[in-house]
Amino acid sequence: MQSKMKESDPILEVENLSASTNNLPILKGVSLTVYPGEIHAIMGRNGCGKSTLSKIIAGHPSYNITNGDIKFLGENINSLEPEERAQSGIFLGFQYPIEIPGVSNLEFLRVSTNARRKFLNKEELDTFDFEELVKEKLEIVKMDHAFLSRSVNQGFSGGEKKRNEILQMALLEPKIAILDETDSGLDIDALRIVASGIKKISNAQTGIILITHYQRLLDEIEPNYVHVMSDGQIIKTGESDLALELEKKGYEWTDNFIKKT
C-alpha cells in the first residue's frame, strides 16, 4: 500500500528547514516529505517548534527562513505570500482560530472559497450557489446554519472554533492540510465529529499533517507516520505505534533519545 503511494510525486517536501523569529532560531533543520494519501502526525512538547513549522509552511510573516526549502507539488514556495499558498491548496487549521469582529462568517467563507476556486479555474460562486455548497459542508462538521451569520469566530466556544476550521477545510478542498492541535479543547463528542470530518474530506490525493499532544485524536485518525519533535528538530520518526509508545513512556523517553544521539 505504502509503496504504491510513493509512485506518485510528493505533495510537500520540507528540506533541512531552519527558521527564526526576532533572530531567535526556532527550527533547526527539519525535513519532512508527505505523499498523497498519507497522514503524518507530529508530536512533541510545547515550544518544540511544531506550531512554528505549520505557520512557516503557511507563510506567516513573523518567521524568517534561514536555511532549507519548502516545496509544494515540486515548486519552491519559500517566497510565496500566504494567500498564494492557500489558493494553491495549502491549508492550516489554527490552534487558536482568530476572531474577526464585524466580518460575517458566511461572507468570509465565500470570499475564501472563491479565491481557491479562481485559482483552480472553477467558476466563482454567487451568494445563492454558495449557500447550497456551504449547507452541504455544514453537515460534515454538524454545525448549525446560525454559525454563518455570526462574525468570524467571535464568541465561538473552543469546539465551535475548531469545527469552523474543519468547515473551511471542507470548502477549500486543500491538497495538504496541516492541523495544529485541532483536538485541543474538544470534548469526546466534538473530537469524534472533527475527526470524522477530517476523514471525510481527505482522500487518496490529499496529505494531512496532524500536530497533536495526544493519542486520542490518533485513535480516531490513524497516521502512517509519527514524528517526534524536540528543540526545533525531528528527533524520531516511526509508524503509528510510536505514538502509543510515546503515550506510555512520556516525552522524557524522547529526551533520553536525544542524549543517546
Partner 1 sequence: MVNENSVKDVVKEPYKYGFVTDIETEKIAKGLNEDVIRLISQKKDEPKYLLDFRLKAFKKWQKMKEPDWAGLGYEQIDYQDIIYYSAPKQKEKISSLDEVDPKLLETFDKLGIPLTEQKKLTNVAVDAVFDSVSIATTFREELAEHGVIFCSISEAVKNHSDLIEKYLGTVVPASDNYFAALNSAVFSDGSFVYIPKGVTCPMDLSSYFRINSGDSGQFERTLIIAEESSSVSYLEGCTAPMFDTNTLHAAVVELIALDDASIKYSTVQNWYAGDEEGIGGIFNFVTKRGKCLGKRSKISWSQVETGSAITWKYPSCLLLGEESVGEFYSVALTNNRQQADTGTKMIHIGPKTKSTIVSKGISAGNSINSYRGLVRMGTKAKGSRNYSQCDSMLIGDQASANTFPYIKSQQPNSEIEHEASTCRISEDQLFYLQSRGIEFEEAVSMMVSGFCRDVFNQLPMEFAAEADKLLALKLEGSVG
Q: Closest approach of Cβ 150 to partner 1, in Å?
A: 12
Closest CA to 140 of 200, 181, 180: 200
Q: Cell numbers of 248, please?
A: 506510555
Binding site for partner 1 (CB under 8 A): 58-62, 81-83, 85-87, 92, 94, 97-98, 100-104, 107-108, 111-112, 115-116, 119, 127, 151, 168, 172
Taking the least distance from each CB to partner 1, the nearer of 96 and 257 is: 96
Q: Cell numbers of 89, please?
A: 491548496
- The H-assigned helical ranges of 142-250 are 158-172, 188-201, 215-220, 240-249
Q: Closest approach of Cβ 30 to partner 1, in Å?
A: 20
Taking the least distance from each CB to partner 1, the nearer of 67 and 114 is: 114
Classified as helix, coil or strand, 104 is strand
φ and ψ at 235, to 5 degrees? -100, -15
Taking the least distance from each CB to partner 1, the nearer of 88 and 237 is: 88
Q: Closest approach of Cβ 108 to partner 1, in Å?
A: 7
Taking the least distance from each CB to partner 1, the nearer of 35 and 91 is: 91
Q: Closest approach of Cβ 125 to partner 1, in Å?
A: 12
Closest CA to 107 of 125, 93, 121: 125
The two beta strands, 176-180 and 24-34, are: unpaired
